[in-house]
């Protein structure tokens, strides 16, 4: 299916405004896709596309330096149809002092999704986190007279050496039926890293290093004696 004029116009503007960002992205970073009644493939660290119309509207957005992905879709009653689908892939690695053994930690996906409809039609959405260590998914689906939604964090355990590259894929979908709207937002975080270590990525993600525990006065006296 060809891209609508709204998507093309938006992409042309994005290319002009984010040229510096595109040049700074590493050529060997994975590509990311946004699908809103068509498919957009991007190798920039962040991107957004809006389209579908005239009876529906969908938006897909991702920002890999911030670790966020979002899909939103609205379909008019009775003939509207729009699905927003965003898939990102990036290469991550632990930074910090070298160690002779791997570090155990978790990649966490914080997902928020909701759907609604004045016509009591259905809305659904999903958020997925994948790596070679497995997959975790959050979903909502149902008739949205009362509103549907989900608010949940899922985790993928990791065991990695310092500097070892590993892939993470984030995927969000928002899919309403005619007369409904749906949205799914997700953000990436990491937990369980030892003090002094952080996660960085090919496309610019950087977590805050886990703070080291403050040394006691006795330890300081020994260190600087």
Instruction: Indicate the pairing of strand 68-75 with strand 122-131.
Output: unpaired
Helices H / strands E in the chain, number of each: 3, 13
Q: Where would I find the H helices in 57-123?
A: none
Report the number of distinct structural domains present in the chain.
1
What sign has the CA pseudo-torsion 64, 66, 69, 70? negative
Is pLDDT of 25 > 80?
Answer: no
Is residue 216 in some structural domain?
no
- Structural domain for 197, as ranges: 5-209
Task: Please tell me what DSSP assigns to residue 81.
Answer: -
Is residue 214 in some structural domain?
no
pLDDT band at 9 (very low <50, low <70, confident <90, very high): very low
Is residue 23 in some structural domain?
yes
What are the pLDDT digits (tens) for 47-75?
Answer: 999 988 788 899 999 999 999 999 999 99
**pLDDT number for residue 118:** 82
**pLDDT number for residue 104:** 98
Q: Tell me how far CA of residue 176 lies from CA of 36, 172, 195, in angstroms.
A: 13, 14, 44
User: Whole-model pTM above 0.75?
Assistant: yes
Is residue 94 in some structural domain?
yes
Is residue 220 in some structural domain?
no
Return d(Cα 128, Cα 171) in angstroms, integer. 5
Is pLDDT of 11 > 60?
Answer: no
**pLDDT number for residue 27:** 56
Is residue 217 in some structural domain?
no
Q: What is the mean pLDDT of the chain?
A: 83
Element (H, E) at 89: strand 84-95
Instruction: Indicate the pairing of strand 198-201 with strand 148-160.
Output: unpaired
Q: Can you tell me the mean pLDDT for 102-111?
A: 98
pLDDT band at 144 (very low <50, low <70, confident <90, very high): low
Is residue 145 in some structural domain?
yes
Residue predicted with more confidence, 218 or 106: 106
Report the DSSP beta bridge partners of residue 89.
Answer: 169
Tokens of residue 137, six digits: 């998914």
Is residue 20 in some structural domain?
yes
């Amino acid at each position: 299916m060809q891209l609508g004029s709204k998507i093309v116009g938006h992409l042309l503007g994005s290319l002009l405004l984010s040229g510096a960002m595109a040049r700074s992205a590493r050529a060997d970073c994975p590509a990311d896709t946004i699908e809103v009644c068509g498919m957009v493939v991007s190798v920039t660290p962040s991107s957004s596309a809006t389209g579908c119309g005239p009876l529906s509207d969908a938006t897909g957005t991702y920002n890999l330096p911030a670790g966020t992905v979002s899909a939103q879709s609205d379909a008019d009653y009775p003939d509207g149809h729009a699905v927003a689908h965003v898939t990102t892939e990036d290469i991550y690695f632990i930074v910090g002092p070298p160690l002779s053994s791997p570090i155990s930690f978790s990649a966490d996906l914080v997902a928020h999704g909701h759907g609604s409809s004045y016509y009591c039609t259905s809305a659904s959405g999903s958020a997925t986190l994948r790596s070679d260590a497995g997959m975790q998914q959050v979903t909502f689906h149902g008739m949205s007279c009362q509103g549907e939604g989900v608010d949940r964090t899922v985790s993928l355990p990791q065991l990695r050496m310092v500097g070892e590259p590993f892939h993470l894929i984030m995927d969000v979908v928002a899919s309403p039926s005619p007369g409904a709207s749906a949205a799914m937002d997700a953000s990436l975080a990491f937990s369980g890293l030892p003090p002094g270590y952080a996660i960085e990525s090919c496309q610019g993600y950087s977590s805050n290093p886990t703070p080291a525990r403050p040394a006691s006065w006795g330890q300081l006296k020994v260190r600087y004696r």
